[in-house]
Amino acid sequence: QAIQYFFNAARIPGAITPMALLITIGGVVSLAAWLIGPAKGLGVVAEEGNLPPIFNRTNRYGSPVAVLIVQALIGTLISLLYVFLPSVNQAYWILSAITVELLCIVYFLVFAALIRLRYTRPDAPRPFRIPGGTAGAWLIGGMGAGGVIFSFFVGLMPTGDFSATRAVFYVGGILIGTLLLAVPPLVFLKLKKPGWRKAGTTREVSR
């Protein structure tokens, strides 16, 4: 609609259809990258032995088949929100917020790892080292972690699409969805076995 309003205001309505076609092509291309990118990453994680062996199976093109199938199933189940919620905007915002919350958890761990590794592996070769020694690591890591925590709580704030009575549903849905998607990696890590590692992969670096 924004594109339509723009070109109508510019008095070139004939550009709406070509622009819509270009946007569609761009969306399909970006969707392909979004689908195969995380799947390839999880495939590498599986090869390193952090997921059950079934997830490191690939087809002749090197794509992790099991990961893609599970990804499709989870995506289909999550998409059911668009069916059960009264508004498309509500479903979109909940899914977007869950994505942000998961990213906040990941980045919090990244900043926490930055600080911890300065103590556990201070002399490890690094392509870039934050200046200031341990104090610099605490400053950058602390600022990053603080910003991530702030963003996490901002993501729990309902938008104007949710009434006061549905605000609890919004927050609860985000927390439950985030928990359900964040717990499986911890379970796999707990159940991890040496036999899960695919033959020929790099050995795990000792801590």
Alpha-carbon span 1 to 3, nearest angstrom: 5
> CA 26, 32, 36 angle in degrees (round to 5)?
155
pLDDT of residue 108: 95
- The better pLDDT of the pair 163, 41 is held by 41
Look at residue 199 and give its three-state secondary structure. coil
Q: What is the mean pLDDT of the chain?
A: 84
The pLDDT-based confidence of 205 (bands split at 50, 70, 90) is: very low
Both tokens assigned to 135: 């104090």
The single-letter code of the amino acid at 129 is: R
- Give the residue among 176, 168, 22, 30 at the shortest CA–CA distance from 95: 176
pLDDT of residue 45: 86
Kindly report, residue by residue over 122-150, the tens digit of the pLDDT. Answer: 888 888 888 888 899 999 999 999 999 99
The pLDDT-based confidence of 52 (bands split at 50, 70, 90) is: confident
Where exactly are the structural domains of the chain? 1-84, 86-200
207 CB burial (10 A radius; 0-12, 13-18, 19+): exposed
Q: Is the pLDDT of residue 200 over 50?
A: yes
